[in-house]
Amino acid sequence: MNISKKWIRAGFCLIWLPLSVAMSCNTSPYPDGLYAEIQTPKGTVVCELDYKRAPLTVTNFVGLAEGTIGNQARGAGQHFYDGLTFHRVEPGFVIQGGDPNGDGNGGPGYQFPNEINPELTHDKAGTLAMANAGPNTNGSQFYITQSPQTRLDGRYSVFGHVIQGMDVVNQIQVGDRMEEVRIVRVGKDAKAFTADQTAFNKCLQDIQEKHNNANNNQQLTSQITPMDTGKYEYNEDGLYAEIQTIRGNIVIRLEFEKTPMTVANFVGLAEGTINNTAKKPGEHYYDGLKFHRVVPNFVIQGGDPQGNGQGGPGYKFADEFDETLRHDGPGVLSMANAGPGTNGSQFFITHNATPHLDNRHSVFGRVVHGMSVVNAIRQGDVMEKVIIKRIGKKAEKFESDQQAFETYQKELVSRQEKAKEKQKADFDKKIKGAKKKVQTTASGLQYTILEEGKGDQAAAGKVVSVHYTGYLEDGSKFDSSVDRGQPISFPLGQGKVIKGWDEGITLLKTGSKAIFFIPPSLAYGENGIPNVIPPGSTLIFEVELVSVN
């Protein structure tokens, strides 16, 4: 996990007794409990896992670490976190890892709900918690705090804390690798703790049952109203999918004009006109599959021929976003994925608005009938049939066979290339304007003040808060605090950030906005950061100095 890597920092100076030696002497380096040893080139971080108060989250972490939980990123039995990097480091805030993509967008191919225990808080440095993209979107990414962060309480699932190696955590840099994540069980209770797929599913079921009991089944009732079991009248032209289940029918209007490729994939699979490795030619792909994942008040998910979140049609295709199609309410139909460009056959339907999923998952339809059925679906419920209905000339003409699907893919690539060209042109125009007023320091740092602030002057030794967006010279964005909605805070002049930042921020006053052109010698040098920043890259940053303390 990339988050783990970033938490572990270089300069670990204690002398460690190898675990194998300690075990050979029939002694344990730890008290009774469950532990994760995160080994990095900069030292080892040891976390105690709170498996009794956060069983679901710990089961997920341990199962991935030991290769006993299925996922789409690594093969069966492979240790998920070994070799991943810390892809995000916010000095004084957190280090984050656990992303197989290495860019903050990846995961195991499934998501699970938050597990918030009021006794587990971000009350100190070294808190281990799950990173997420919003409520109930936990996967494999985690973070470790470098200072108390109580404002995160209630939003992120805490499941452990560092007991050794905080100096390593404080030295971790972006790109540092987790060489190995080893799980250590000490004592009878910890040794009896299992973390396989069955245990994970049981923990998930327990959380769902607790939620249902707490809410008296008000939002997830199994009762279907007469209207839902009745026949839907297709009075408006359009392309529809009717999902028939034992709890009633769900009717979805498909956005074939706005997302033709994604709809063609869904319709082609449903009607058996698109080639796949799970079913024979002509077989209706979705018929008989089940909803393998149900997260109360979040989503129901189905479309996996294996029924465990790991399966698909044997191919993947790109994301297809339309700015008018958002996760803005209940009943939104969207593609499940394991990161950008990994769509297949799995889809989900929302219980509520989930705007944090926008531009991460491709919306391609909305429920027009049967939301109470959506709310009644339970994990394991079967889609008996998925019937496609075409109403009107446009819908009747819409093609969704193999050839049409491939054509839509090519058209999407063409549209995306044109969009990138426009984005590059806009970026070049902005940079060209900034270059006209650029100033150069003795070190080679170039900067342009876009807006002069009127607040306190930044200086070495002061703690600053900065919003930023970072680009490569080709205009591609590699990181942004603006996108995350959280500026970074760090002490100036102490090497907590790259040299170009330590120098450039001192030139600004609170409220200032600027563009930095940072040469490799003041950034990440000739090595760069694997999968993020190429070797020898000049970096371009748009920055805003938010505060100086």
Which residues are part of the catalytic machinery? 293, 298, 301, 337, 348, 357, 361
Number of Cβ atoms within 10 Å of the Cβ of 134: 15
DSSP 29-80: SS-SEEEEEEEETTEEEEEEE-TTTSHHHHHHHHHHHHT-S--SSS-TT--T
How far, in Å, CA of 346 to CA of 60, rounded? 21
Exposure string of 192-230, with b = 16+ CB inside 10 Å and e = fewer, is ebebbeebbeebbeebbeebbeeeeeeebeeebeeebee
Q: DSSP class of residue 157?
A: -
Find out whether 483 and 425 touch, Cβ atoms under 8 Å.
no
Number of Cβ atoms within 10 Å of the Cβ of 424: 13
How far, in Å, CA of 98 to CA of 93, rounded? 17
How far, in Å, CA of 93 to CA of 71, rounded? 29
Which residues, in sequence order, are bridge partners of residue 244? 249, 385
Place of tokens 């000739």: 526
The set of residues, in sequence order, having a beta carbon less than 8 Å from that of 197 and lying 6+ positions away, is 63, 68, 69, 70, 308
- Residue 489 half-sphere exposure toward CB, CA atoms < 13 A: 12
Exposure string of 242-253, with b = 16+ CB inside 10 Å and e = fewer, is bbbbebbbbbbb
How far, in Å, CA of 364 to CA of 375, rounded? 20
How far, in Å, CA of 291 to CA of 381, rounded? 6
How far, in Å, CA of 16 to CA of 205, rounded? 40
**Nearest-CA neighbor of 54 among 98, 133, 131, 119?**
119
How far, in Å, CA of 35 to CA of 15, rounded? 19
Task: Give the phi and the psi of residue 43 in degrees, each rounded to 5.
Answer: 135, -175
Task: Give the phi and the psi of residue 480 in degrees, each rounded to 5.
Answer: -160, 120
Enumerate the H helices of 67-185 as residue ranges: 166-169
Find out whether 146 and 128 touch, Cβ atoms under 8 Å.
no
